[in-house]
Structure 1
Amino acid sequence: MPTVKITACTTADIHILQDIAINSYGDHYLYLWHDGGMWYINRCFSDDALKKELEDENAAFFLIYAEEELVGFLKLNLHKEMDSYTAAEAMELERIYLLKSASGKGLGRMVLNFTRQYAQKLGKKVIWLKAMDSSKSVDFYEQNGFTKCGTYTLDFEAMKEEYRGMYVMKLELD
C-alpha cells in the first residue's frame, strides 16, 4: 500500500486543484461527451467555478497524495439532505477523482475510509453520492458498503444520452 496523505484544499491551492481536476477527469470521463468533455471542464474546473466552490462553507475539498505525489482530489458537501435525512444528518460525497496511474492501488478505499471518519466527526448518520450507472465505480462503492437507493438522470445537452443515468447510493453510519 502506498503512503497516502489527504490534505485540506483552500483557495490558495486553486491552481493545484484545477490541474489535478482536469487531469484526473481527462483520464476517465472524456468519452461521456459529444465535445470531448470541454463543456464540462470549462463549467466545473474554470478559475471562477473552483473559486466559488472553494469559498462555499458547505463544501470541503481535499488533495490526495500517494508517496508525496499529487494523485487526486476529494469534494464533500458537508450538509446535504437526502431522502429522510436532514442536512445536519447527511453528507454528500460529490467527487473522488484519481489519476489513472493511481487507480487500482487501494487509494479509493483509503479515501472512503477518510470520508467515513470525517463524516463521523461531524456526527453524520449517512454519506450519499451519485455514481454513473455505466461506471465500474458502482461496484467499488457496493464493495465498500454503499447501497443503491435511487436513480437520477443528468440533463446536460452536451452529454451522450446513453451515459446520463446515475444511481443514488448511500452508506449509513453507526
Structure 2
Amino acid sequence: MPDIRITPCTTADLYTLQDIAIRSYNDHYLYLWFDGGAWYVDRSFREETLREELTDPNAAFYLIYYQEELVGFLKLNLHKEFESYTAAEALELERIYLTKAASGKGIGRSVVDFTKSVAAKYNKRLIWLKAMDSSRSVDFYEQNGFTKCGTYTLPFEQMKPEYRGMYVMKLEL
C-alpha cells in the first residue's frame, strides 16, 4: 500500500518509539491487567529498557506510518531459534502494535508482508510468534498464513489469569 511506510528505528528515535509504544499499547491492552497496565508499560517501555533493546544487534525495530502519521511499531528478533529451527533459520515477530485509529486499514497485513521480506533478506526458513489466545490477532495471523503449533502461559502475576494464555504460531517460508 502506498500510504504505508515502515522505517528502521534507532536509538535516535527512542522517545518517538516510547511514545508510540505506550499510545498503541494503551489503546488495546489495559483491560488485561489488575493495575490498568501500569506495571507492564513501565517494565517494557521505560527509557532504559528501550535503549537496551534498540542496541541489541539481534533486535530490529521499525516505525510504522500511515498517510505520513506515526501509527505503530514492529519489533523483530532476527535470530531466534524455534523448535528444530536454528537461530540462523528462524526469525521471531515479537510485536506489531498499532494505534486503535490505524486498526482495520490493512496496515497489519503490510507489516506481515514486510516481515516476510526481512526474513527473506536473512535467508530465514521460518517466522514465529506468540499471540494472545483471547485476542482477534490469532485470526489475523491465520489469515496471513500462520498456523498454531503450541501454547504458552505468560508468567505475569499482575495480569488477570484469564488473559495469560498464548498460542505459539509459525509460518514456514
TM-score range, shorter chain: over 0.9
- Flag structure 1 segments of 5+ consecutive residues without an equivalent: none
Partner of 1:94: 94
Q: Which structure 1 residue ranges, 4+ long, deviate > 2 Å from structure 2?
A: none
Q: How far, CA to CA, are the matches of 2:90 and 2:146 in structure 1?
A: 14
Is 2:4 aligned against 1:12?
Answer: no
Give the CA deviation at 1:72.
Answer: 0.2
Q: How far, CA to CA, are the matches of 1:82 and 1:151 in structure 2?
A: 13
Give the CA deviation at 1:2.
Answer: 6.0
Question: Which amino acid in structure 1 is aligned with residue 12 of structure 2?
Answer: A
Is 2:43 aligned against 1:51?
Answer: no
Question: Which amino acid in structure 2 is aligned with residue 62 of structure 1?
Answer: Y
Q: How far, CA to CA, are the matches of 2:144 and 2:161 in structure 1?
A: 28
Equivalent residues in 2 for 1:104-143 (5 A)? 104-143=104-143
- Flag structure 2 segments of 5+ consecutive residues without an equivalent: none
Question: Which amino acid in structure 1 is aligned with residue 153 of structure 2?
Answer: T
Question: Which amino acid in structure 2 is aligned with residue 33 of structure 1?
Answer: W
Instruction: Report the TM-score, using the length of structure 1 for normalisation.
Output: 0.98
What is the count of residue pairs matched by the alignment?
173
Give the CA deviation at 1:75.
Answer: 0.1
Is 2:35 aligned against 1:30?
Answer: no
Partner of 1:68: 68
Q: How far, CA to CA, are the matches of 2:161 and 2:125 in structure 1?
A: 34
Cα RMSD (Å): 0.7
Deviations 1:73-114 (A, max 9, x none): 000000000001000000000000000000000000000000
